[in-house]
Structure 1
C-alpha cells in the first residue's frame, strides 16, 4: 500500500512544482498541501475504506481548486491551466469513479458525481454514468427520474427522456413520480408529437394503455398524455395523486377536454372522498372547466362568470358534498375554503360573511366543527357583539355557541378559555367561577391559563376578589405549584413583605412546590430597602432541600448572594455542601462554574 501511495504522490509533484513556480502558493503552503494529499491517499488506500474518506478528499480537492482560481484572478495568472486546473479536476473525476465503484449502493455518490460533471462540463461522462446507475439502481424510481430529468433539462433530448420514463414505468408500474414526470413531458411536448409518434411509442411496448373511458373527444395532441393518465388512474388508487395530475393540466393551455375526462373519472371513482369534492368546489371558485349537462352553459366562457356566480357555485358544490359525506373532514375543507374567501372583503363582503356564518352554524348543529374553526367563529361572534353592544340576541347566540362548543369538545382548553372569558366579560362571575372546579379536575395543570384569566379579571374588580381567586386556586395542588410564585408577588405589592413572608412559611411546607416559587421569594427579599440575611437564606435553604440534588443554579446563586450581600466566607461552605449533595453527573459543571465566579468576584451582579 505504501508503495502505491508514494507512486500517486510522485504523480502529483509536477502540479505542485508548477503551482510554486507560478507563485500561486509559497514553499510552506506547497509542503502543507503535499502533506494533506498524502494523508488522504493513505486513508483511501486502507484495507477498510469509508465513504467519508472519499468525500473529505474530494471536498479538499474542490476547495483547493477554488483557492487556485481566486489566486489566479487576484494576481492575473493564466498560465498552465491545462496542467494544474485540469489535473485537479481529472483527479476529482477519478476519485468519484473510485467511490462509486466501491460504494455503488449509495445513490448520493451518483448524484454528486452528476453535479460535478455538470459543473466542469464533463457531459459525456454523465451519459455513460446514467446507464451504469440504472443497471445498479433500476429498483429505485428516483434514479429513472434523475436520468429523464438530465436528458430533458441538460441535453434537451425529449425522446431520450421519454424512453427513460417509459422503461422506468415498465419496472415500476405504480410509481407516482414517474407517471407525473411522463404526464408533464407529454403535455409540454403535445404539439410536437404527431399521432404517428404516439403510435410508435405504443409499439415500443413501454406503456400499454388500457382505455377505461371513451377517448373520442380527446384531441390528437393530447392523446399520449391521456393514455399515460389512464394508465396511472387504473394503476394508482389515490385521489391526491389524481388531483396532482389534474392540477398539472391547469398549468397548460388547451387542455380542457383532458381536464373534463379526469374530473368525470374522479366523480365516478372517488365520490366518497372529501378531497374530490373540495377540488370540484375550488375549481368552481376559480372558474375552471367543469363537466355540465347544459350545453349552453357549457359553452359559456368561465372567465366571464361573475365573482358572485363563482362563489355561489363553489358553495353549492360543498352543500352537495356535506349531504353525501357526513365527516369532520369535508366540513373542515368547506370552512377553510370560506375562510380563504373571507380574507378579501373588498368585494361582496355581505355574501362572503353570510356563507361563512351559515356553514359554521350548520357544522355546529351536526357536531362536525373542529376546535380551530370554533375559535375562529367565536372571534367573529365577539366582533359582532362589540359592534352591536346593545343587541341581547348577539350575546345569547354567543352563549349558545360557547356552551355547545364545550359540549362537543369538552377536552379543549382553548374552547373553555373562550367560554370563561365571555362569562367574565359579561360580569357573570358566579356562573364562571362555578365552572373552575370542573375544568381543574379535568385538565389538571393544563388549566393554569384558565386560572390566569380569572386572576386578571379579578384584578380589575377588587383586591378581595383577587385574594379569593388565589385562595381558590391554592386548593388544587396541580395548579398551586405554578400559582404560588405570583401569589407571593401580589402580596408584596398589595400588603407588604411581611404578608408575603407569612404566606411563604405556610406554602413551602405544602407538597408540589416549584424552584420558581423559592426564587421568587428570594428576589422579593432582595428588592427590599433593607436586605435581611436571615430572611434571604431561608428560601435558599428550602430550595436546596427540595432541588439541590439536580439543579446547580440555586447553589451558584446562593454563593453569589453571600459574596455580594452576606458573608463571603460562607461561600466555601456552600461549595462543599453542593459537591456532596449534587448528582455526580453535575459535579464537574458546578465546580467549573464555581471556579469562574471565584476567578472574577467583581463581575457578580
Structure 2
C-alpha cells in the first residue's frame, strides 16, 4: 500500500515543486499539501473505500486549484499556468473516473464529473463518458435528457441530440421529460433564431392523414405531439407542450390542434378551462368550447381590445364553474380575476366589478375560501377608506357571510371584530366577541389581544372586568393575560395588592412562567427592594418548572448573586442538580462551572 501511495504523491511532486519555485506556496505550505495528499491516498488504498473518501479528495483538489488561481492573480504570476492547471485538473479527472468505476450506480458522480469536465473544457472526456453512462443508466430518463442537452448546448449537434432522445423514448415511451425535450428540439430545428421557417427536406416528412391543414414543415413536430398525447394522459403535460408552442411564430394551427384535443379529452379538468381562459385573455385564437349541453357553448372570436379579452376570459370561467362545481375551479377563476385587478391603470372599475361578481357567485355556491373572503374584505375596506358611502353596509354584510360560512376561521372573526370596534359599535362587538370565543375556544387569543388594545385605548375603566373574564378562559389565554394583569395592578394600584394577587395567580392552573418572570422584574423596580418578596417568584418558578428548565435555576442564582445573598447559591445549586432530569443536570453543571470561572458573564465579581 505504501508504495502505491508514494508513487501517487511522486507523480504530483513536479507540479508541487513548480508552485514552490514560483512562490505560489511557501515551503511549509507545500509540506502541508504533500501531507494531505498522502492522507487521502492512503484512504483510497484501503480495502473498503467509501464515497465520502473520494468526494473529500476531489473537493480538496478543487479547492487547491481555486487557491492556485487566486494566488496567481494576487501575485501576478503567469508562468507555468497551463502545466500546473492541467496537472491538477487531470488528477481530479482520474479521481472522478475511479469513483465512477467503483460506484457506477450512483448517478451523482456521473453528473458531477460532467460539470467538472465542462468547467475545465475536457469535452472529449464527456463524449466518451456519456456512452458509458447510458449503457449503465439507460433505465433513467434523466440520463438521456442530460446526453441530449450536452449535444445541443456544447456540441451544437441537434441530430445527435435527437438520436439520444429517440433511443431514450424507446426505453421510456411514457417519459414526459423526453417527449418535452424532443418536442422543443424539433421546434428549434424548424425555426431559426429570428423565427423564420427553415427550409428542410420535405421528403423526410410523412403525410399525416386527416391533418393536411398542418404546415408541412411542422408535421414532424405534430407526429411527436400526437404520440405524446396518446401515451401520456396528463393535462399538465399537454399544457406544457402548448406553452412551449406559444413561444414560436407560425404555430397557430398546431396550437389549434392541441387546444382542440384538450377540449375533447379533458373537459372535466379545471386546468384545461383555466388555460383556455388565459388564452382568451391574451387574445389567442382557439376553437369554440362545445359541450354536450347547448347552454354551455361559447363562441370565441379574436378580440383586440382589452375589455373584450377580459370579457371573453370571464365568460370561459363562467362556463367552467357551471360544468365543474368544485372549489378548485372557483379558486382558479378568482385567482385570474385578482391577477387582472393588479393592474389598475386601465379599466379599473370594470375589472373590480367582475371580481366582485365572481366573489359573490362563489360565496353563493359555498366554495369561497378564507383567503378570498379576506381579499374581498380588504377590497371593501379600501373602498371605505376612499369614502365610498355604499361600502359600509356591504362590508358588514360580507363580514357576516364570511363568519357564517367559515365559523372556524380566526382571521375572519378578527376582521369582523376589528370592523365593529373601529366603527364604535361596542354592544355588537361584545356580542360578536362572545360568539367567536365560544366557537374558536383556544384559538381565540388574537381576539383577546385585539379587544385588550381597544379597551386600553377607549375604555380603561373596563379593564378589570376584561382581565377577570380572560383569566377564566382557555389556559393559553389566561396564561397570556396573567403577566399583563399583574403589571397593570402594579401600575394602577400598588405592589402590595399585586403581591396578594400574584400569590393567587401563581397557584391558578396551568402554571405560567411569564407571570413569575414579570413579577420578579416588577419587584426589582421597587424603590425599596424586598428580598423576601423578590425571591418568591424565583422559588415558585423553580418549583413549577425546575425539572425541565435549567434557565430558571440560573436566573435564581443570578438574582442571589446580584441582589440577594451569595451564600444561598450553593443551596440553589444542590437543589437544581437533584431536581433537574439527568441530562439537563449535566448541562446545568457545565453552565454553572463556566459562570463560576467567569463571573463577569453575570456582570458581578465573586
- Alpha-carbon offset, residue 197 of structure 1: 6.7
Q: Give the corresponding residue for 2:47.
A: 47
* Cα-to-partner distance string for 1:302-334 (whole Å, 9 max, x where unaligned): 6xx111111111111111111111111111111
For the residue of structure 1 that corresponds to 2:547, the secondary structure is coil
Distance 1:16 1:349 in 2: 71
Distance 2:88 2:457 in 1: 76
In structure 2, relative to structure 1, the CA distance for the partners of 1:127 and 1:431 (3 Å cut) is same
In structure 2, relative to structure 1, the CA distance for the partners of 1:546 and 1:82 (3 Å cut) is same
Distance 2:326 2:44 in 1: 60
In structure 2, relative to structure 1, the CA distance for the partners of 1:197 and 1:528 (3 Å cut) is farther
For the residue of structure 2 that corresponds to 1:189, the secondary structure is helix
- The answer to whether 1:245 aligns with 2:241 is yes
Q: Give the corresponding residue for 1:286.
A: 282
- Alpha-carbon offset, residue 121 of structure 1: 1.7
Q: What does 1:406-445 correspond to in 2, within 5 Å?
A: 406-445=403-442
Aligned residues of 2:300 and 2:312 also touching (Cα < 8 A): no
- Alpha-carbon offset, residue 80 of structure 1: 4.2
Q: Which moved more, 1:453-462 or 1:418-427?
A: 418-427
* Cα-to-partner distance string for 1:466-494 (whole Å, 9 max, x where unaligned): 22222111112422122211222222232
Distance 1:499 1:527 in 2: 16
In structure 2, relative to structure 1, the CA distance for the partners of 1:284 and 1:557 (3 Å cut) is same
In structure 2, relative to structure 1, the CA distance for the partners of 1:245 and 1:567 (3 Å cut) is same
Q: Give the corresponding residue for 1:113.
A: 113
Q: Give the corresponding residue for 2:528.
A: 530
Q: Give the corresponding residue for 2:356.
A: 357
- Alpha-carbon offset, residue 496 of structure 1: 3.1
TM-score, length of structure 2 as denominator length: 0.91
Q: Which moved more, 1:29-38 or 1:63-72?
A: 63-72
- The answer to whether 1:97 aligns with 2:97 is yes
Aligned residues of 1:413 and 1:446 also touching (Cα < 8 A): yes
Q: Give the corresponding residue for 1:380.
A: 379
- The answer to whether 1:231 aligns with 2:227 is yes
Q: What does 1:271-420 correspond to in 2, within 5 Å?
A: 271-292=267-288, 305-388=304-387, 391=389, 394-420=391-417
Distance 1:24 1:344 in 2: 59
Q: Give the corresponding residue for 2:584.
A: 586
Distance 1:314 1:143 in 2: 41
- Alpha-carbon offset, residue 441 of structure 1: 4.3
For the residue of structure 1 that corresponds to 2:353, the secondary structure is helix
For the residue of structure 1 that corresponds to 2:248, the secondary structure is coil
Q: Give the corresponding residue for 2:58.
A: 58
- Alpha-carbon offset, residue 385 of structure 1: 3.4
* Cα-to-partner distance string for 1:277-297 (whole Å, 9 max, x where unaligned): 11111111122232259xxx9
For the residue of structure 1 that corresponds to 2:407, the secondary structure is coil
Q: Give the corresponding residue for 2:295.
A: none
Aligned residues of 2:282 and 2:309 also touching (Cα < 8 A): yes
- Alpha-carbon offset, residue 264 of structure 1: 0.9
Q: Give the corresponding residue for 2:257.
A: 261
Distance 1:430 1:72 in 2: 79
Identify unmatched segments of 5+ residues in structure 2: 191-196, 290-298
Aligned residues of 1:477 and 1:512 also touching (Cα < 8 A): no
In structure 2, relative to structure 1, the CA distance for the partners of 1:535 and 1:352 (3 Å cut) is same
Q: Which moved more, 1:215-224 or 1:357-366?
A: 215-224
Distance 1:420 1:135 in 2: 67
In structure 2, relative to structure 1, the CA distance for the partners of 1:66 and 1:383 (3 Å cut) is closer
Distance 2:277 2:83 in 1: 65
- Alpha-carbon offset, residue 548 of structure 1: 0.9
Distance 1:74 1:227 in 2: 57
- Alpha-carbon offset, residue 431 of structure 1: 3.4
Distance 1:480 1:488 in 2: 12
In structure 2, relative to structure 1, the CA distance for the partners of 1:522 and 1:192 (3 Å cut) is same
Q: Give the corresponding residue for 2:175.
A: 175
Q: Which moved more, 1:142-151 or 1:178-187?
A: 178-187
Distance 2:564 2:242 in 1: 76
* Cα-to-partner distance string for 1:223-244 (whole Å, 9 max, x where unaligned): 1122111111111111111111
Q: What does 1:568-583 correspond to in 2, within 5 Å?
A: 568-583=566-581
- Alpha-carbon offset, residue 76 of structure 1: 4.7
* Match of residue 558, structure 2, among 557, 560, 569: 560
- Alpha-carbon offset, residue 429 of structure 1: 3.2
- The answer to whether 1:595 aligns with 2:593 is yes
Distance 1:398 1:299 in 2: 38
* Cα-to-partner distance string for 1:31-54 (whole Å, 9 max, x where unaligned): 222211111111111111011111
In structure 2, relative to structure 1, the CA distance for the partners of 1:602 and 1:101 (3 Å cut) is closer
- Alpha-carbon offset, residue 299 of structure 1: 8.7
Q: Which moved more, 1:308-317 or 1:442-451?
A: 442-451
Aligned residues of 2:410 and 2:443 also touching (Cα < 8 A): yes
Distance 1:460 1:273 in 2: 53
In structure 2, relative to structure 1, the CA distance for the partners of 1:79 and 1:462 (3 Å cut) is closer
In structure 2, relative to structure 1, the CA distance for the partners of 1:27 and 1:426 (3 Å cut) is closer
Give the count of matched residue pairs: 588
* Match of residue 194, structure 1, among 175, 197, 200: 200
* Cα-to-partner distance string for 1:1-29 (whole Å, 9 max, x where unaligned): 23322332333333333333444333322
* Cα-to-partner distance string for 1:129-160 (whole Å, 9 max, x where unaligned): 10100011111111111000000000000000
Q: Give the corresponding residue for 2:489.
A: 491
Q: Give the corresponding residue for 1:7.
A: 7
Q: Give the corresponding residue for 1:544.
A: 542
- Alpha-carbon offset, residue 388 of structure 1: 4.2
Aligned residues of 2:202 and 2:217 also touching (Cα < 8 A): no
Q: Give the corresponding residue for 1:205.
A: none
Distance 1:345 1:15 in 2: 66
Q: Which moved more, 1:175-184 or 1:565-574?
A: 565-574
- The answer to whether 1:465 aligns with 2:479 is no
Q: Which moved more, 1:142-151 or 1:374-383?
A: 374-383
In structure 2, relative to structure 1, the CA distance for the partners of 1:526 and 1:312 (3 Å cut) is same
In structure 2, relative to structure 1, the CA distance for the partners of 1:600 and 1:271 (3 Å cut) is same
In structure 2, relative to structure 1, the CA distance for the partners of 1:535 and 1:85 (3 Å cut) is same
In structure 2, relative to structure 1, the CA distance for the partners of 1:148 and 1:197 (3 Å cut) is farther
- The answer to whether 1:24 aligns with 2:30 is no
In structure 2, relative to structure 1, the CA distance for the partners of 1:34 and 1:322 (3 Å cut) is same
- The answer to whether 1:220 aligns with 2:209 is no
Q: Give the corresponding residue for 2:292.
A: none
Distance 1:193 1:578 in 2: 87
Aligned residues of 1:198 and 1:223 also touching (Cα < 8 A): no
Aligned residues of 2:202 and 2:216 also touching (Cα < 8 A): no
